[in-house]
Amino acid sequence: MTGPGLRPGGRSARVQESIHSAVRALLEEQDRSTVTVPQIAARAGVTPSTIYRRWGDLSALLADVALARMQPDSEPANTGSLRGDVQAWAEQYLDEMSSEPGRNMLRDVQSSPTPGLCVTIIGGQLQMILDRYPDQPKPGVDRLINLMAAPTVFRILFSPAPLEVEELHRLIEIAFSQ
Amino acid sequence: MTGPGLRPGGRSARVQESIHSAVRALLEEQDRSTVTVPQIAARAGVTPSTIYRRWGDLSALLADVALARMQPDSEPANTGSLRGDVQAWAEQYLDEMSSEPGRNMLRDVQSSPTPGLCVTIIGGQLQMILDRYPDQPKPGVDRLINLMAAPTVFRILFSPAPLEVEELHRLIEIAFSQ
């Protein structure tokens, strides 16, 4: 039996949502390096100790918010063809991750205890696309992740320039030609 | 005109080297989260302010050391064949980066002002291999990076499990079949 305080959407979930949304708002208004726990607490209407008790420190909270933002708001675009859907997904992913908030998300999420969830989230999106076209030959989800998401993210974090969209298209071609 | 204090290998370079080697020694002896600037300073025989003046903070110093460690000690292994050399390089890279010190290096180097040097270093190694076989058809360095280094690193940082060596071999096959 769970008490009313433990039901999903209950008090605890509402507190978490108000803290997450305070973080998102502050990250839009000011540089990430200047955001502090007391600021977030004030904006969310909680005490700093509520945040420290729940997350331990600022980097764990930022990681949690980053992971939640990795969850897409909607299903992947449906262009009418398998290749088109995959390409649209990959282009949007490259776009979003290369942006300043995207880069910060990628860095923050690494401080999460479960950064591996990133691949689970991406894999879920790609599987949704593949399932739309059950009768067509296609690469597996892991291969698509290795050929599209991996070079996108690797070049954002470790290269002087992001992945070029022409190379992304060639990598998609390679994935489908195997 | 540069004074004697500015020559390469002079006093400033020696101080830097003793600080770097103090960091490397401490990282071998204890958990990275417990290493502090005063500890490093004591081990290197300098004052903490020398470190703060030069690097600003601990994460910048760790990033600098990580980047220096990314520089390989030797030329890539020469197995006698292009494909063999590429495969040996990729397997060693996967091995090294999946280790605990490798993961930490990947995280630390992102705090460097020039994380893009990673790709430059990797590219230099792969180019050395390609140059050994001038008359053979081969993929470009950027393609090799996208198909080998990118999935290796992406899965270390964002996936519950590292890249499997069988998939690495298939990706190398794909790179050479284009």
| B7-27 pLDDT per residue, tens | 556 778 889 999 999 999 999
Please report whether residue B66 resides in a domain.
no
Please report whether residue B69 resides in a domain.
no
Please report whether residue A151 resides in a domain.
yes
Provide the ipTM: 0.85
Q: Has residue B2 got a pLDDT over 50? A: no
Distance CA B121, CA B64 (A): 14
**A92 and A160 fall within a common domain:** yes
Contact A158 B107 (CB under 8 A): no
Please report, in tens digits, the pLDDT of each residue of chain A (178 residues total): 334 444 556 788 889 999 999 999 999 999 888 999 999 999 999 999 999 999 999 989 999 998 888 888 889 999 999 999 999 999 999 999 999 889 988 999 988 888 888 999 999 999 999 999 999 999 999 999 999 999 999 999 999 999 999 999 999 999 999 8
Domain harbouring B33, CATH code: 1.10.10.60
Contact B158 A120 (CB under 8 A): no
Please report whether residue A88 resides in a domain.
yes
**B82 and B29 fall within a common domain:** no
Structural domains of chain A, count: 2
> A27-55 in b/e burial notation, b at 16+ Cβ within 10 A?
beeeeeeebebeebbebbebeeebbeeeb
Q: Determine the residue of chain A that is closest to B142 in CA distance.
A: A167
Please report whether residue A69 resides in a domain.
no
Mean pLDDT of B75-95: 96
pLDDT of residue B86: 98
**B145 and B110 fall within a common domain:** yes
**A17 and A97 fall within a common domain:** no
**A9 and A45 fall within a common domain:** yes
Distance CA B103, CA B153 (A): 9
Rounded to 5°, the CA angle B66-B72-B77 comes to 150
**Which tokens in the block code for residue B25?**
């020694």
**Which tokens in the block code for residue B126?**
């792969």
**A52 and A88 fall within a common domain:** no
Domain harbouring B153, CATH code: 1.10.357.10
Residues of chain A contacting B116 with CB distance shorter than 8 Å = 158-161
Q: Has residue B111 got a pLDDT over 90? A: no
> Is the four-CA dihedral A56, A60, A64, A69 of positive or negative sign?
positive
Test mutation, B157, B168, B171, B172, chain A, max A CBs within 10 A:
B157
pLDDT of residue A9: 62
**B48 and B119 fall within a common domain:** no
Q: Has residue B51 got a pLDDT over 80? A: yes
Q: Determine the residue of chain B that is closest to A115 in CA distance.
A: B158
Please report whether residue A104 resides in a domain.
yes
Distance CA A17, CA A5 (A): 15
Distance CA A34, CA A138 (A): 46
**A94 and A167 fall within a common domain:** yes
Please report whether residue A68 resides in a domain.
no
Distance CA A120, CA A137 (A): 23
**B46 and B112 fall within a common domain:** no
Q: CA torsion, points B138, B77, B124, A115, in degrees to nearest 10? A: 100
Contact B110 A107 (CB under 8 A): yes
Contact B119 A147 (CB under 8 A): no
Q: Determine the residue of chain A that is closest to B118 in CA distance.
A: A158
**A41 and A126 fall within a common domain:** no
Please report whether residue B137 resides in a domain.
yes
**B94 and B25 fall within a common domain:** no
- Which structural domain range is residue B172 located in? 74-177
**A25 and A94 fall within a common domain:** no
CA gyration radius for chain A? 19
DSSP B103: H
Q: Has residue B1 got a pLDDT over 60? A: no
